[in-house]
């Protein structure tokens, strides 16, 4: 067998933004019919590189050649014409349009808008395993199906080279397997994939070759069959590695959060989004909630935070003297003041003001407390000083505290939030997906901080889609399915696969 | 293999749009004929009323279509009012010098210029949509005033009014109209009411009305069945996604907002160029742009719904004009009947609060009907405005609004 031709070659790509070099001298060679993984921490420059390859940004130096010819990609249309398609991490779908409309949009010229387009769409849906009716609104689809719509969209435009940008970040293990199955089948049909990820097990299971990027430049290209995840990770981070394992148990018998019989009705009907949820988190304990997204975890967190009003049940929180106090009727601010720290699931929507400097983000949620405020007036000077302390202690990589929060990478934004939430001396931390979309380095630091706080007696309610994280950090795991806590797992013995099947309800009959 | 999908909702079988429209039409006619029978007010369903309703509904319909085009492309167009005002002046000016068709064209052109201005502000310079819209309303008013003083005063001797201009000829389907007229005069329950309402719609109809009514299905076809329409709507739903797929978002928004202005201008022209309407008159638009916008929202951003909305407001306006306070009182009675039906529906669906609200509304309206012989005449001209407020308050509950509406969009920026 001869070595297949390279279909995509990036040589000496350099891209500078004001103040930063996002890519410097990057080399990447992708051969036809392979799955080529690009690995790196968040902020390492993977996204910029892919934006360059997809024509969304132009490189300052270097050349791109597709199929042996040097091309200039000025916009995504050029890239599509060259046969390159991209499935974005944040889906580029219009929720209020149907599946068919989303696929056809912008490519109406290829097969028209009538029967021929419908036939082509059906064929591609078959190939990618999309079973949704083409006339349903995208709004009604789950994430896995949305992702497939994105893939169909790319294929409909005739792409042979598909960039998948962190495709597994939003999927549960079973869905990941199904996706990989599809990718393998399509690879044998001659499609080429560029697979962006920082989940190394996945990379090793799917990729034929791996290129590692660190600090904006390529570290090397390796064969995933011959390296271990550890070696790969060390290439990415350039140093020793983190793991989510908590060492000794620090669980006390002092309850900090007690939820009993909590119920939440859906906005428009009497269907329960949360049904009879009861749990207790003790000081020094990390309680992990596992579950497929959309089964009520978000609502649980928001109800405990007071952002939604419970229909029934009580939420109690330990006050200073250790006595449990009913906080069911308190508002969000009062709950925060009572000692709840909150790492929101979507930091752009809930945790940060992207267009505000770091120091004013430090004030958010603490506007009534020292040191950033004296109760009535905000103290910007103190806020700046305290933000500098957070930046220092939590290793937030930023030129200064006057920088807008939106200018930081995801990992650094998250470190800032973690630092802020742990600075208010909370008794309880609610962490919803604390390391989602965060690079390995920041992940390690966040885990370390959570562990340290747990050691000091903090109670943590952890919701995560990353099963390794759940198993590694938690002292107890509860599984949530359709708004109920259905089962319990011991993190010391459970495997991600078992947990995954409990999450989809497959384990229910077995148990 | 079956995978449980927590987010998939079971799609309920729903009535197709046309069937629901027909159902509502039947309910409306039923309510009106019952009300006219019980209150002894034949004017509720007379051909005069429906004819006036058609004439008065037209500007609202056209404004609503304008709103539809702009809002579907993600641009809020509060400026419809100002664009309509520009349209009234333009059409009077055009009609005075070149006849009705030139007047219509000039009205559309003036509205379109207003639309383009809105597009420049909102799309290119990212001005807040409401601010720009309000500015255009003020500007439209001022420009029309200025131009009227400049151009019309020397001819008509009055800066607030144009000289009288040519009007559209009207056409009747004579045979049908006569037959329906005979039926109406027989005064048979329901049958005569239906005949009266229909007769108004086929008698003395202007070409402008026909064009406007045709524009409704045409808009549906263009926006929902063509490539251009899909692209235009995608700009209102997710401009970032659209841009990533090679849709020129700026261009489509420009076209949509300009077309929106054109429709509004046409709406203005329909105030000037129809028989029975005034010539250009200062303040003659009188909030119809906003009412059109309300009709469009009431119609859930869909052409068929907006037609219903425009018919409702046109009818309310036509009734108060041809029947006065007594007729409006009778309409209150009709509204009580309609609310009764809605309450029953809500009870079946177990929406207790909505049902209670309906009962409260019905009680208030019935009390008004029972205690007063005639409504204060100062309030009568504002009937359509009251209807707007009430209907919007009720209808605004379950709307499917274009997702990216009113959002500022800059090429190359995420979210």
What is the interface pTM, i.e. ipTM, of the complex? Answer: 0.78
Which residue among A92, A96, A97 places its CB closest to the CB of B244? A92
Least confident piece of the model among A98-102, A187-191, A407-411: A407-411
Least confident piece of the model among A185-189, B13-17, B224-228: B13-17
* Inter-chain touch A101–B234, beta carbons under 8 Å: yes
Q: Determine whether B37 is exposed, middle or buried from the number of CB atoms within 10 Å of its CB (0-12, 13-18, 19+).
A: middle
CA distance A205 to A177: 10
Q: What percent of chain A has pLDDT over 90?
A: 11
Q: Is B60 a residue whose pLDDT tops 90?
A: yes
Which residues in chain B have Cβ-Cβ distances shorter than 8 Å to A482? 6
What pLDDT sits at residue A268? 63
pLDDT in tens, B275-330: 888 889 888 998 899 999 988 988 889 898 899 889 888 888 888 888 777 888 88
CA distance A383 to A405: 15
Q: Which of A47, A96, A271, A293 to mutate to test the interface with B (most CBs of B within 10 A)?
A: A96
Q: Which of A106, A158, A481 to mutate to test the interface with B (most CBs of B within 10 A)?
A: A106
pLDDT in tens, B73-120: 999 999 999 999 999 999 999 999 999 999 999 999 999 999 999 999
pLDDT in tens, B240-270: 888 878 788 999 999 999 999 999 999 999 9
Classify residue A457 as left (phi > 0), alpha (psi -120 to 50) or beta: left
- Name the average pLDDT for chain A: 84
pLDDT in tens, A102-128: 998 888 877 777 788 888 888 888 888
Which residue among A93, A107, A482 places its CB closest to the CB of B6? A482
User: Using the 8-state DSSP alphabet, how is residue B42 labeled?
Assistant: G
Residue in this structure with the two tokens 């020292």, named with its chain if needed? A370
What pLDDT sits at residue B279? 87
Residues 347-406 of A with CB under 8 A from B: 348
pLDDT in tens, B156-194: 888 888 888 889 888 888 888 888 888 888 877 778 888
Chain B positions touching chain A (beta carbons under 8 Å):
3-9, 11, 225-227, 230-231, 233-234, 237-238, 240-242, 244-247, 400, 402-403, 412, 414-415
Q: Which H or E run includes A445?
A: helix A440-455
What pLDDT sits at residue A509? 42
Domains and their CATH numbers in chain A:
6-237 (3.40.50.300), 255-510 (3.40.50.300)
CA distance A458 to A429: 7
Q: Are B305 and B299 in contact (CB under 8 A)?
A: yes
Residue B7 pLDDT level (bands cut at 50, 70, 90)? very low
Classified as helix, coil or strand, A263 is: strand
Which residue among A90, A106, A136 places its CB closest to the CB of B247? A106
Strand partners, B100: none
Q: Is A229 a residue whose pLDDT tops 80?
A: no
* Inter-chain touch A92–B245, beta carbons under 8 Å: yes
What pLDDT sits at residue B108? 96
Residue in this structure with the two tokens 């590694």, named with its chain if needed? A472
CA of B404, closest CA in chain A: separation in Å?
A: 9
Which residue stretches of B226-302 are H helix?
227-237, 239-244, 249-272, 288-298
C-alpha distance across the termini of chain A, in Å: 49
User: How far from chain centre, in Å, is Cα A267?
Assistant: 27
Token pair of A105 as six digits: 């949009």
User: Using the 8-state DSSP alphabet, how is residue B194 labeled?
Assistant: H
Q: So where are chain B's domains?
A: 40-170+205-307
Closest CA to B25 of B203, B198, B219, B181: B198
Following DSSP, what letter does each residue of A420-444 receive, concatenated? HHHHT--SEEEEESTTTT--HHHHH
Q: Which H or E run includes A322?
A: none
Closest CA to A152 of A104, A94, A207: A104
* Inter-chain touch B230–A105, beta carbons under 8 Å: yes
């Amino acid at each position: 067998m001869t070595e297949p031709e390279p279909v995509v070659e990036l040589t000496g790509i350099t891209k500078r933004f004001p103040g930063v070099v996002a890519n410097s001298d990057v080399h990447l060679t992708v051969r036809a019919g392979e799955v080529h993984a690009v690995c790196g921490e968040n902020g390492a420059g993977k996204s910029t590189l892919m934006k360059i390859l997809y024509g969304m940004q132009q490189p300052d130096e270097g050349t791109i050649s597709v199929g042996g010819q040097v091309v200039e990609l000025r916009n995504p249309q050029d890239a599509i014409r060259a046969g390159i398609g991209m499935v974005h991490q944040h889906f580029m779908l219009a929720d209020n349009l149907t599946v068919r409309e989303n696929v056809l949009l912008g490519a109406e010229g290829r097969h028209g808008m009538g029967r021929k387009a419908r036939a082509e769409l059906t064929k591609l849906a078959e190939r990618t395993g999309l079973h949704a009716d083409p006339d349903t609104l995208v709004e009604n689809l789950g994430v896995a199906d949305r992702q497939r719509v994105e893939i169909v969209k790319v294929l409909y435009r005739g792409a042979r080279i598909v960039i998948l940008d962190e495709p597994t970040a939003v999927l549960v293990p079973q869905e990941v397997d199904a996706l990989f199955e599809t990718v393998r089948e399509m690879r044998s049909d001659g499609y080429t994939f560029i697979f962006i990820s920082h989940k190394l097990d996945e990379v090793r299971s799917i990729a034929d070759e791996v290129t590692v990027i660190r600090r904006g430049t390529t570290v090397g290209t390796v064969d995933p069959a011959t390296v271990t995840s550890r070696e790969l990770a060390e290439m990415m981070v350039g140093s020793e590695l983190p793991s989510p394992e908590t060492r000794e148990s620090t669980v006390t018998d002092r309850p900090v959060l007690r939820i009993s019989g909590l119920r939440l009705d859906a906005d428009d009907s009497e269907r329960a989004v949360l049904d009879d949820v009861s749990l207790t988190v003790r000081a020094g304990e990390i309680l992990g909630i596992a579950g497929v997204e959309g089964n009520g975890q978000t609502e649980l967190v928001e109800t405990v935070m007071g952002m939604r009003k419970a229909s029934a049940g009580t939420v109690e929180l330990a006050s200073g003297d250790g006595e449990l106090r009913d906080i069911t009727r308190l508002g969000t601010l009062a709950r925060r003041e009572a000692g709840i720290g909150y790492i929101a699931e979507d930091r752009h929507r809930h945790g940060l003001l992207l267009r505000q400097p770091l120091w004013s983000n430090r004030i958010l949620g603490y506007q009534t407390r020292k040191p950033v405020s004296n109760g009535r007036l905000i103290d910007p000077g103190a806020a700046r000083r305290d933000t500098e302390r957070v930046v220092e202690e939590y290793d937030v990589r930023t030129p200064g505290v006057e920088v807008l929060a939106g200018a930081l990478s995801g990992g650094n934004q998250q470190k800032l939030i973690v630092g802020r939430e742990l600075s208010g001396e909370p008794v309880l931390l609610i962490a919803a997906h604390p390391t989602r979309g965060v690079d390995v380095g920041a992940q390690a630091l966040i885990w370390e901080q959570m562990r340290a706080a747990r050691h000091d007696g903090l109670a943590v309610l952890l919701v995560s889609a990353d099963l390794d994280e759940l198993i590694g950090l938690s002292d107890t795991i509860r599984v949530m399915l359709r708004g109920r806590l259905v089962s319990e797992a011991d993190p010391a013995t459970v495997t991600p696969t078992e947990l995954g099947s409990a999450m989809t309800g497959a384990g229910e009959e077995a148990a | 293999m079956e995978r449980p999908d927590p987010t998939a909702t079971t799609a309920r079988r729903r009535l197709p749009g046309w069937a629901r429209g027909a159902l509502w039409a039947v309910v409306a006619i039923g309510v009106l004929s019952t009300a006219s029978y019980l209150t002894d007010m034949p004017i509720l369903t007379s051909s005069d009323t429906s004819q006036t309703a058609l004439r008065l509904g037209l500007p609202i319909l056209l404004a609503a279509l304008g709103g539809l085009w702009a809002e579907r492309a993600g641009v809020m167009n509060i400026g419809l009012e100002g664009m309509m005002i520009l349209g009234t002046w333009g059409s009077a000016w055009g009609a005075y010098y070149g006849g009705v068709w030139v007047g219509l064209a000039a009205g559309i052109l003036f509205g379109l210029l207003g639309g383009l201005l809105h597009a420049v502000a909102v799309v290119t310079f990212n001005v807040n949509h409401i601010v720009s819209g309000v500015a255009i309303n003020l500007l439209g008013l001022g420009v029309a005033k200025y131009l009227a003083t400049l151009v019309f005063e020397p001819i008509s001797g009055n800066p607030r009014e144009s000289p009288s201009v040519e009007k559209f000829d009207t056409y009747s389907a004579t045979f049908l109209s006569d037959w329906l007229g005979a039926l109406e005069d027989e005064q048979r329950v329901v049958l005569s009411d239906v005949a009266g309402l229909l007769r108004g719609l086929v008698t003395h109809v202007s070409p402008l009305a026909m064009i406007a009514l045709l524009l409704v299905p045409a808009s549906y076809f263009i926006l929902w069945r063509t490539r251009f329409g899909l692209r235009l709507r995608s700009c209102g739903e997710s401009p970032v996604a659209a841009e990533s797929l090679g849709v020129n978002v700026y261009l489509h928004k420009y076209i949509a907002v300009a077309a929106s202005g054109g429709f509004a201008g046409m709406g203005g022209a329909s105030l000037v160029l129809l028989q029975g309407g005034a010539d250009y008159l200062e303040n003659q638009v009188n909030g119809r742009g906003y009412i059109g916008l309300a009709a469009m929202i009431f119609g859930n951003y869909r052409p068929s719904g907006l037609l219903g909305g425009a018919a409702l407001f046109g009818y309310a306006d036509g009734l108060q004009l041809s029947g006065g306070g007594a007729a409006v009182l009778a309409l209150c009675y009709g509204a009580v009947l309609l609310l009764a039906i809605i309450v029953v529906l809500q009870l079946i669906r177990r929406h207790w609060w909505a049902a209670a609200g309906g009962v409260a509304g019905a009680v208030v309206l019935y009390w008004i009907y029972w205690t007063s012989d005639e409504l204060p005449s100062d309030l009568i001209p504002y009937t359509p405005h009251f209807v707007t407020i009430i209907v919007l308050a009720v209808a605004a509950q379950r709307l499917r609004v274009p997702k990216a509406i009113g959002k500022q969009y800059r090429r190359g920026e995420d979210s």
